[in-house]
Chain A
């Protein structure tokens, strides 16, 4: 069937901010969809509140709305743009939920908008557990026993047929959120109470737990002619009980025979038909009993998902693109396979390599969070690797994670050991206990299990991980033992510590070759070989080029047809298919797995770099290992290497491709860390020189630079030991800001108020001395923080955007809301900041992008830090000013001047943009939501409007916490904020809000003549503050705290506000901005405008 002609204008919904469970995979799908629909001549109207996405680039859609994803906004858009159809399947759960809401509110009917891809009915059937269960039984498939309850009594009744272990989850929360496994009545009771309280409708689901069953996922595509194909079967290494997003997964499925797989495939085909997903991709999860083979259907996502992104990257089959084409009428046999260019999309990819995905976690940033992996997702990112075998792919995936592990490092000091019998019972017991609860480290504990003498059967009994996977790990451990034995010089050797002894005990070339084939990184080999050697004698492995690395192509067809698209992965084989060209080329290093502090913003920059190179006629070569990203789409760059971002792996690519240079400034800290090591190997680095990067990163050199330029810095020092830390802290004066060197996202960064607190920080937060040198700065209290993005070539430096933080300095810039242009800074200060930025750019010889953080205290400007690379705010600024900064920077790096690019002046503004951060607190359990210097947000949203008030209000709505228009506000503030609270309270009263406050705050405000109702603190007896929040009697909470003890006292307030989804402010500045937002909302109605309208014609291209 050809393209539909009855529709012309398609409305597409993005997934909004990056949160746990919904990351940049939906930028990948949305971007593919936009491109595919435009290619077919449709008009695309797009809504996404996340500015860091490629899909919201103004040239990808006809109308791009960076506005809150709410029905009110959609209705405004429908009024203005009158789309005839809506494609709901590309923006994750957010888009599906919104579509359901639009349908239920009659908005789709009112504006005559039809859904394409999946109908409301299909979405409902797949998403509603009851309807889904019924549908499955209809077609003879089994689902776990389950039911929904509204009271504790009902829950216990339902438990009888279900039995333990049972999964308890709140109803109607974002996919998988809040599931818990109860093993006994006590746990069950607690979870039920919690789930009933958490669910927006006071309903909990109780379900038979299939913990320990094998878990599989199938990606299914269907077209309007009812052709169905399975893109890829994926097997979870972690058995049921760990959310698939938190599981190590592998493609293709490893331990299913054909009969078993085909039975699953039959089921998948029947399911997509029964649910009635007309076209496009769906993801279906199955569980298989390891001893009986009994199969159950777990769930179906009637949309493109994280797994679709993984399956797309794993096979080369562009699920989202094809799903978009199917939605507008094409059938699979009418769409050409992009990779082979000769075959059709109606086939099932077959792969001749193994793909392993490992999730990446960030528990260390959330003190008090529970690191147990369970049925709701906790990981913030993932890395994927391809290898000729599982072992190779696994080891590549490990080093792709960037967690300072290059292989199966022992966590118990057992490297190189391998034992078939346990010889240390205490150790065995300890490792067993580590393995009993699934955590992020389970893979490494498994390896230690083998090292300590646990058998495969024992490890299977503890973990339920399929023996085939365990055997693979065992083989690696055994090989490590062989290799390490080569590095051990017998004590009997006459000169066992001499260089000569080391040299003669070299492992054979054969053994090293074999190690490389098993996926061992050079680092790991060296570690194992030098295990018993004094540090000075650490030997280097054979030079990288000594091992014959080859690159193979991902071609969807296991080499049956010639691959026309250079999508490559490395392995140690006979034949290399890289076939580098003789063109001018540049290697762009990507950002690797998403983590807090480094995510989609950097991928956005890498994608723009590739586009810029294409415009300049230079070949772009992308290196990245994050399957969720747009940058790893095979059509973004000219050549894609899906490889770990380590020195070794990057070096091999450079050797093969011989580029003009490597770009390190777009991918965040990951490539930046590689700058010096790569330069040492003679790899040319484009843009700002490695020496300049070091000058900005190295505190000492940086201080010298500021002195030279006469710029102000807070008093600071660098400590090598705890004693020195105390000395420096006393010298610079408390409060201080303490942090380890070379960190991103403020890891282990803290404001310390006195020397006792410094002791605590050194002992608990810093963990070990390897984190020294410790950087110590005097902390500027109540200063305004300012973020500046600038771009420079060799002659000029231009300030692209000055962002004023809403929260005071000391809150990590990634976690603070900010306004562009500044909403309160004087022109003098802006001029001063501009002058300093230009001076720094020139002094550092910046070529490309640069980000500077300033603090302004009492009208004095301090330089906090300079990052000579693309910052997290580049996409936000680019969207706001209508200039693609990353593109310009890439062009500058390959020789263009800013003058040639027509970007020589800071832009002027007719509108205000506000960026707000989005946090994962609800997902990670017991975590305090107070903001601090350590970054904890996962994503961001943008609000744009003509004034700051509305822009801020939009940013809050986009972040999921719409500001209230009426009601009662709770105020409980620290003494230092009390004065500032007066005008805040007065303004709220003027707007018609009632005020409640804790006693201290209430008394203070009453003295000022305000009417305030006092409420009990938790300690003061009931009904207390938390009761009121639970009863939803407050529409907004303002809670600022100073000392640690008051932080602990007030934690339940913030936690409850979070669970009840009540807007809360933990800084007075934030609350003031909130009030400005409410004032704007009450003054005039919501209006929406597209980026295209804000920007006129894009400039700077």
Chain B
């Protein structure tokens, strides 16, 4: 049997079998607890710089299909599973996972004790790791991984953002969320008008774009480095700050642009977009021990006291610089240059700030993924909430 090694920065070694492209890969090892959605995860640009460990043991069962990609390529730098399926079985499948990984040159490892690895990351924090199919000298691999640059402070966005602006036209089609509660109250309003939005691409997941189309927006996607003036020249009704990889402090230029856009038009921040917005508002960023990566994260809407089961993928978070911050499940309001901002959502797991809204200026943002994919559709209504904000602003 062929073998492969995974070696962590702290010297922990896991021996398993090779998966995917034969070679070597380095990245920050993070675990994701979603039980479905490996294709969406592999193609999510937010995973740039990371190697993803799936805690769910059987991966690849339903294969790969053209509809479920979140971008035009795979971004994860490595893939770690308990057991990958040699065949795929699903009416939509076009390709088995193993072939897909090899074809896109993603190096992986399988048949390791993934739970032991997860617990290690939980207890000692996310860290850099190396997967090798060719070199089985743990000592050398540790040295190699320790030399690799850390994810903190790095600009990974520039590696995943689009090079030129483009218009997006495709909606969710058959896969539109069907939860009735998320349908707009007066649907005709949404169908008649088409608002223009600009999506700043920090590594956008295509499902954000699809959901915007579903609602009836015109969608223009622009590179992360687009300046305030260039955005303003497009004259959108609303601006979406997308998700993306890594540390929000790695993209100071984006923070600066956003700072200048606050108050000009309604802004909706998602994930990294939320963090960038938060930093622009004067909040503080911090790195989480092992991040939130999964599709089962309970988030409390502090205003309605209702719980959404959310899809999450972040290593960093923003918060108001206040020690008691995380304990408060009240919808706290804090002052900014642009008026009052209210914390609207918190994680029920660790109290982490998961969303906020501007009370005096039209901004809305969430740390989690209302577009889901993978994950539950509980938060799909946020797109409508933003739509209402845009509508109110322009009426």
Contact = CB atoms under 8 A, between A and B. Distances in A.
Interface of A: 139-140, 225-227, 229-230, 233, 252-263, 265-267, 269-270, 273, 289-293, 331-333, 343-344, 346-354, 388-390, 456, 466-468, 471, 510, 514, 517, 550, 552, 557-562, 573-575, 577
B202 interface: no
A577 B118 CA distance: 13
Contacts of A261: 36
Which label, helix, strand, loop or mixed, suits the secondary structure of the A interface? loop
A1091 B83 CA distance: 53
B377 A388 contact: no
Given A256-B36, A267-B178, 14 more contacts: A140-B178, A256-B62, A258-B39, A259-B68, A263-B178, A270-B178, A290-B91, A344-B348, A349-B296, A350-B34, A352-B57, A352-B115, A468-B89, A575-B113
26 contacts: A227-B306, A233-B35, A252-B35, A257-B39, A257-B68, A258-B34, A259-B68, A260-B62, A262-B177, A265-B376, A266-B179, A267-B178, A273-B181, A293-B92, A343-B349, A347-B297, A347-B298, A350-B56, A352-B33, A352-B118, A456-B87, A468-B61, A471-B89, A558-B55, A559-B122, A577-B119
Contact of A575 (B115, B348, B377): B115
B61 A255 contact: yes
Contacts of B373: 258-259
Interface residues of B, number: 62
Interface string B76-100: 0000001101111111100000000
Top 3 A-B pairs, shortest CB-CB distance = A258-B37, A258-B374, A558-B55
B58 interface: yes
A348 B376 contact: yes
Interface in B103-134: 111-116, 118-119, 122
Contacts of A225: 305-307
Contact of B56 (A229, A263, A352): A352
Contacts of B180: 139, 270, 273
A353 B34 CA distance: 13
A254 B119 CA distance: 24
Contacts of B375: 258, 262
Given A262-B377, A352-B57, A574 B116 contact: yes
B45 interface: no
Contact of B116 (A262, A456, A467, A575): A575
A259 B91 CA distance: 13
Interface in B263-314: 294-298, 300, 305-307, 309
Given A139-B180, A258-B40, A347-B298, A389 B115 contact: no
A270 B114 CA distance: 35
A261 B311 CA distance: 14
Contacts of A456: 87
B36 A257 contact: yes
Interface of B: 1, 14, 31, 33-37, 39-40, 55-58, 61-62, 65, 67-68, 82-83, 85-92, 111-116, 118-119, 122, 175, 177-181, 294-298, 300, 305-307, 309, 348-349, 372-377
A351 B35 contact: yes
A323 B305 CA distance: 19
Contacts of A257: 36-37, 39, 62, 65, 68, 90, 92
A270 B380 CA distance: 14
Contacts of A389: 57-58, 82-83
Contacts of B113: 388, 550, 573-575
B6 to A, nearest CB: 12
Nearest to B374: A258
A266 B182 CA distance: 10
A466 B374 CA distance: 23
A314 to B, nearest CB: 12
Nearest to A259: B175
A333 B297 CA distance: 12
B62 A227 contact: no
Contacts of B91: 289-293
Contacts of A561: 122, 349
Contact of B62 (A255, A510, A573, A575): A255
A27 to B, nearest CB: 29
A348 B178 contact: no
A333 B179 contact: no
A558 B114 CA distance: 10
B56 A351 contact: yes
Contacts of B33: 350, 352, 557-558, 560
A333 B122 CA distance: 23
A261 B376 CA distance: 9
A346 B307 contact: yes
A626 B298 CA distance: 31
Contacts of A577: 119
Contacts of B90: 255-257, 260
B192 to A, nearest CB: 23
B296 A347 contact: yes
B116 A573 contact: yes
Contacts of A558: 31, 33, 55-56, 115, 118, 294
Contacts of B92: 257, 293
A254 B35 CA distance: 9
A254 B56 CA distance: 10
Contacts of A259: 67-68, 175, 373
A598 B348 CA distance: 44
A385 to B, nearest CB: 14
A573 B298 CA distance: 30
Given A267-B178, A350-B35, A254 B58 contact: yes
Contact of A471 (B67, B85, B295): B85
A558 B34 CA distance: 9
A260 B113 CA distance: 29
Contacts of B348: 333, 343-344, 346-347
A353 B309 CA distance: 22
Contacts of B376: 230, 262, 265, 348
A39 B374 CA distance: 38
A450 to B, nearest CB: 14
B294 A350 contact: yes
A258 B298 CA distance: 18
A230 B309 CA distance: 10
B302 to A, nearest CB: 11
A340 to B, nearest CB: 9
Nearest to A1: B305
Contacts of A347: 296-298, 309, 348-349
Nearest to A251: B35
B175 A575 contact: no
B384 to A, nearest CB: 16
Nearest to B14: A574
Contacts of B65: 257
A552 B115 contact: yes
Contacts of B83: 389
Contacts of A226: 306
Contacts of A140: 178
A444 B36 CA distance: 29
Contact of A229 (B37, B306, B309, B374): B309
A343 B348 CA distance: 7
A557 B90 CA distance: 27
A350 B32 CA distance: 10
A266 B55 contact: no
A389 B31 CA distance: 18
A256 B87 CA distance: 14
A1065 B305 CA distance: 60
A259 B90 CA distance: 12
A349 B305 CA distance: 21
Given A257-B68, A259-B373, A575-B116, A348 B296 contact: yes
B89 A466 contact: yes
A257 B89 CA distance: 10
B354 to A, nearest CB: 14
Nearest to A573: B113
A266 B14 CA distance: 39
Contacts of A331: 305, 307
